Amino acid sequence: MIKEIAFTAYPAKDVAGLRKWYEDKLGLKFSGPYEEDGVEKYNEANVGGGYFSVLTQEWADRDPGSASGVVFEVDNIDNTVKDLRAKGIEIEDPYATPVCKIASFTDLEGNKVSLHQITVPH
């Protein structure tokens, strides 16, 4: 029935602004905007074969700041946290689970974003 995740959808008041924030802060590369009347309504970045998207709150039918499901895999969470703090992002200290380390922060619109590093392959 389900074969893969097509994309995640994070709502924004300002799609272009949020997209630029993800490009500047996390280094994501977006494929190009879908616009209506000169306003960016949707954009997506390919991340490891899946897509992370930002779209208008009207299209998402959710308020900005209400998303919390994306968890980006990183090679070294401690270094990534340090880099993000240097870019002005307030991010929690990584915490360990039996198989990984995780740290979270909020994006420009208040949506929750998490970082993940596998420490025990599974």
Give the tens place of pLDDT for each residue, 41-68. Answer: 999 999 998 999 999 999 999 999 999 9
> Domain spans of the chain?
7-118
The answer to whether the pTM exceeds 0.85 is yes
Q: What is the CA radius of gyration of the chain?
A: 15
Of 18, 7, 115, give the one whose Cα is nearest residue 65: 18
Concatenated DSSP letters of 30-69: B---EEETTEEEEEEEEETTEEEEEEEHHHHTS-TT----
- Mean model confidence pLDDT for the chain: 96
CATH 3.10.20.600 assigned to 7-118: no
